């Protein structure tokens, strides 16, 4: 099992550690609800060093990214970040990812921890079409980079203490290379996975201990706490953000998943599965990913059946929880298109009981 550069800190703080995507990661410290609300109200620190990072460089970098991802990376400028996905050539999704544009010939792809090996093989395979090679134009830096996500409404105010570069007013989905806590060329970004604001800090493994200590010192006056992966999941679900392996996978298309907004059908851009996905967009699909909230008391869980009033199965829950900031059961799942309109009454089968719910707009949690 892999360790991150911060593992010793988690263990020293008494975190409950679990295996996640091959890494020894903290699931929680002092309790899910407390950690969740710390991020909603103040600021919390997540170790997300298990995420993967791949560099794409050279004169063909943009052409390659345009082919391998669904979004239109030509719209990126230096310092901008884009959410996108890798279509898999079969109508599904290899992974969802972030694309950072460093400059016209340098991009950083941030991919999911559980998919690093699969994604890297896919990235190399697709690179052959452009004469791009592993170790040259394509470089997997996942084992060399540590990452912290400091999330919450007070996060940027606290982190401003550690850099002379202005970061408090950074726009969503932007980044800067900054000197941070005495460390040069740290990537400081504002993409967020919680809906409560904040930043991500990318650093070399050897700089991780110094930055960890500085972050907690800077945040002490604001009530900073370490946060585990359990709260990361409830926070993202309250925002209706998809989690790969739950809400999207190799069998779900971005159109079915409501990710048409990152699937750009422009004349200038050709990409994997473009024709298939365009047909889905124009002709429609037989199921859609939708958010729902419980009306009856109950907690929806992944793989629970979604039914109509007569008990006929119309879909399946992909993610579900009792939302700490809302005090009610919420979830997402794929449902047949006849049941996708907002406010449609549906039922979640919980221990052989049909519990009433309704289809709602995302996000669940309104900032």
Overall average pLDDT of the 19-30 stretch: 97
What pLDDT shows up at residue 142?
98
Please tell me whether residues 115 and 219 are part of one structural domain. no
Q: How far apart are CA 69 and CA 80, in angstroms?
A: 16
CATH number of the domain bearing residue 155? 3.30.1360.120
Confidence of residue 72 (pLDDT cuts 50, 70, 90): very high
CA distances (Å), origin 116, targets 46, 109, 188, 230, 333: 19, 11, 22, 21, 25
What pLDDT shows up at residue 214?
98
Inter-residue contact 212 to 307 (CB < 8 Å):
no
Please tell me whether residues 44 and 156 are part of one structural domain. yes
Give tens-digit pLDDT for 271-318. 999 999 999 999 999 999 999 999 999 999 999 999 999 999 999 999
Inter-residue contact 120 to 86 (CB < 8 Å):
no
Please tell me whether residues 218 and 159 are part of one structural domain. yes
What pLDDT shows up at residue 176?
98
Q: How far apart are CA 127 and CA 9, in angstroms?
A: 38
Q: Domain for residue 255, yes or no?
A: no
Strand order in the sheet with 175-180: 175-180, 183-189, 198-204, 145-151, 44-47, 225-226
Longest Cα–Cα distance in the chain: 63
Confidence of residue 178 (pLDDT cuts 50, 70, 90): very high
CATH number of the domain bearing residue 105? 3.30.70.1400
Does an H or E element contain 207, and which? none
Please tell me whether residues 104 and 172 are part of one structural domain. no
* The total number of structural domains that make up the chain: 3
Domain stop point among 199, 216, 238: 238
Give me the domain span that covers residue 195.
7-50+144-238
Does an H or E element contain 111, and which? strand 106-111
Give tens-digit pLDDT for 179-229. 999 999 999 999 999 999 999 999 999 999 999 999 999 999 999 999 999
CATH number of the domain bearing residue 294? 2.40.30.110
pLDDT at 367 over 90: no
CA distances (Å), origin 6, targets 141, 203, 224, 258, 277: 17, 12, 16, 35, 41
Coil/strand/helix, residue 187: strand
Between the CA atoms of 238, 100, 212 and 30, what dihedral angle is there, to the nearest 10 degrees?
10
Please tell me whether residues 136 and 99 are part of one structural domain. yes
Q: How far apart are CA 74 and CA 89, in angstroms?
A: 21
Please tell me whether residues 22 and 70 are part of one structural domain. no
For 314, the token pair is 């119309």
Confidence of residue 54 (pLDDT cuts 50, 70, 90): very high
CA 47 to centroid of chain Cα atoms? 14
- What is the model's pTM? 0.97
pLDDT at 365 over 90: yes
Please tell me whether residues 156 and 229 are part of one structural domain. yes
Strand order in the sheet with 106-111: 81-87, 93-103, 106-111, 52-57, 138-140
Q: Phi and psi at residue 254, in whole multiples of 5°? A: -65, -25
Q: Where are the alpha helices (DSSP H) in the chain?
A: 7-12, 32-41, 61-68, 116-127, 155-159, 208-219, 229-238, 274-283
Please tell me whether residues 122 and 164 are part of one structural domain. no
Please tell me whether residues 330 and 307 are part of one structural domain. yes
Q: Domain for residue 262, yes or no?
A: no
For 159, the token pair is 């982190």
């Amino acid at each position: 099992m892999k360790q991150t550069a911060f593992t010793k800190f988690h263990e020293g703080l008494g975190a409950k550690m679990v295996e996640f995507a091959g890494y020894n990661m903290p699931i929680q410290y002092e309790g899910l609800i407390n950690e969740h609300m710390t991020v909603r109200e103040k600021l919390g620190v997540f170790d997300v060093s298990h995420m993967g990072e791949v560099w794409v460089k050279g004169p063909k970098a943009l052409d390659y990214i345009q082919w391998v991802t669904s979004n239109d990376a030509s719209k990126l400028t230096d310092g901008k970040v884009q959410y996108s996905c890798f279509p898999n050539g079969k109508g599904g999704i290899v992974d969802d990812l972030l694309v950072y544009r460093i400059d016209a010939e340098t991009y950083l792809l941030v991919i999911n921890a559980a998919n690093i090996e699969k994604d890297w093989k896919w990235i190399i395979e697709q690179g052959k079409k452009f004469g791009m090679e592993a170790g040259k134009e394509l470089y997997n830096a996942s084992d060399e980079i540590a990452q912290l996500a400091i999330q919450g409404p007070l996060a940027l105010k606290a982190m401003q203490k550690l850099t002379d570069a202005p970061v408090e007013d950074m726009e969503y989905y932007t980044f800067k290379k900054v000197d941070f806590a005495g460390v040069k060329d740290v990537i400081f970004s504002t993409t967020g996975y919680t809906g409560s604001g904040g930043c991500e800090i990318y650093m070399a493994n050897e700089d991780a201990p110094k930055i960890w200590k500085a972050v907690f010192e800077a945040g002490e006056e604001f009530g900073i706490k370490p946060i585990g992966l359990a709260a990361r999941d409830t926070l993202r679900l309250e925002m209706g953000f998809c989690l790969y392996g739950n809400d999207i996978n190799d069998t779900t298309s971005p159109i079915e998943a409501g990710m048409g907004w990152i699937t750009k059908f422009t004349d200038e851009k050709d990409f994997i599965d473009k024709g298939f996905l365009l047909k889905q967009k124009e002709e429609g699909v037989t199921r859609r990913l939708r958010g729902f909230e419980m009306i009856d008391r109950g907690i929806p869980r992944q793989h629970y059946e979604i039914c109509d009033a007569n008990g006929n199965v119309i879909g399946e829950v992909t993610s579900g929880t009792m939302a700490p900031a809302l005090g009610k059961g919420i979830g997402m799942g794929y449902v047949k298109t006849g049941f996708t309109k907002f406010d449609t009454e549906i039922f979640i089968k919980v221990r052989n009981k049909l519990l009433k719910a309704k289809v709602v707009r995302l996000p669940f949690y309104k900032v």
